[in-house]
Every structure is written in C-alpha cells, then in structure tokens.
Amino acid sequence: MRTSIALALLLLPSLATAQDATDASGTEDQPTREVRTVPDGQPRYLQAMQDELTAMRVEGAACEAVDAQRARCQFTARGVSTGREFAVHAVYSDRTDTIYLYVDRFLVVPADAPSSGPVLARLMELNWAFLLGKLEWDSTDGEVRLAMVLNTDSNFDRRAFRSAVRGVTALADRYWGELDRLARAAAQAE
C-alpha cells in the first residue's frame, strides 16, 4: 500500500505537467486554458474569442477591437443540410459583460408584406420552443436575426462560446429553409 501511495506521489507532478502542456495548446475537443494578460486598450476577451475560433478551425474569422471595452468577430458558417453560408457576428462588450452572437440578415420579412403575418407567427412559435437562442425582427427594415447571448461577467467560458457558435449555426441551418419557404409561399399566394 505504501509503495502505491509513494508511486502516485512521484507521478503526480509529471501528470500535472503533461496536463498543463495539453491545456495551453488547445484542440477542437479540449479548449485552451492558457492565462494571458490583456494588452492595454484591448477588450478582455478579444484574444480568447480569436483563439477559440482558430481552435474550432473557423476559416476566415476576422476579429478586431472597436475600442478598449468592445470587440467584434465576423465569419461565415456553412449549413450542413442547406449548404447556405450564414454571416455570423460575435459582438463582445466589457460594459455589459456579454457576447452577442447573431446571424446577420438571417431572413428579411418587411412589415408591410402580406407574408409577414404567417412568418412572424412562426418566429414566435420557434422563440417559445428554443431553449437557447432567439429570433429578432426589426420592423424598420424587415431584418430577422437569429441570436444568442453569452454572459461573461465572471469569466470567458470557452466551451459555452464554442457551443453558442455551433448552436447558432445549427439553428440557422435547421430553420432557414422552412422560414424562407413560408415567406415566399405567403408572398406568392397574393
């Protein structure tokens, strides 16, 4: 018994070192756990967002600081079933401690269009059913956004960020075809 305890005590530091090496680099399955200081004038989690998008192998992601407390990332995500490319934005704010992730111009439903009634009713049904995510409609230009909000008040949760990026893309892919058909069918029925 003493031998196995002594052996475990000898191996513990080497196991911790091996774990630290894995955590620092990060992979698709294992988020990075590297601790960094933030350069002056840069939002707290801008680099973490860039690192996670890189680790997820999101091609063409462009991130930038808007000011010392706000940042944004933009990238394109292709739907698996629709093959459609969705313009995804991640807007981070140290002021609100949030990351607002959304699909830009997911759909366009003008307020004065005859198709707006059935489409907006379906958007409300989907909002009621979604656990995460929401559909937002701007009545001034008809833009519909598919969005998710992550809270960063205590830390940047890398797994939650990855889940939100995947989730907003999966929801867009899942519901775009149905909502687009509904909007076009109601418009043609006139």
pLDDT > 90: percent of the chain: 64
The tokens for 185 are 């069918």
- In 3D space, the residue among 186, 181, 162 whose CA is nearest the CA of residue 82 turns out to be 181
Question: Mean pLDDT over all residues of the chain?
Answer: 83
Q: What is the dihedral of CA 179, 181, 182, 185, to 10 degrees?
A: 160
Q: Which residues have CB under 8 Å from 129's CB, separation 6+?
A: none
What's the CATH number of domain 41-188, 3.10.20.30, 3.40.50.261, 3.40.50.2020, 3.30.1460.10? 3.30.1460.10
Which residue spans within 48-97 are E strands per DSSP? 62-65, 70-78, 85-93
pLDDT tens digits along 139-164 = 999 999 999 999 998 899 999 999 99
Report whether pLDDT(32) > 70. no
Q: What are phi and psi of 50, to 5 degrees?
A: -60, -45
Provide the whole-model pTM. Answer: 0.77
Question: Do 84 and 78 touch, CB atoms closer than 8 A?
Answer: yes
Question: Do 182 and 115 touch, CB atoms closer than 8 A?
Answer: yes
- In 3D space, the residue among 61, 12, 13 whose CA is nearest the CA of residue 169 turns out to be 61
Across 46-50, average pLDDT: 95
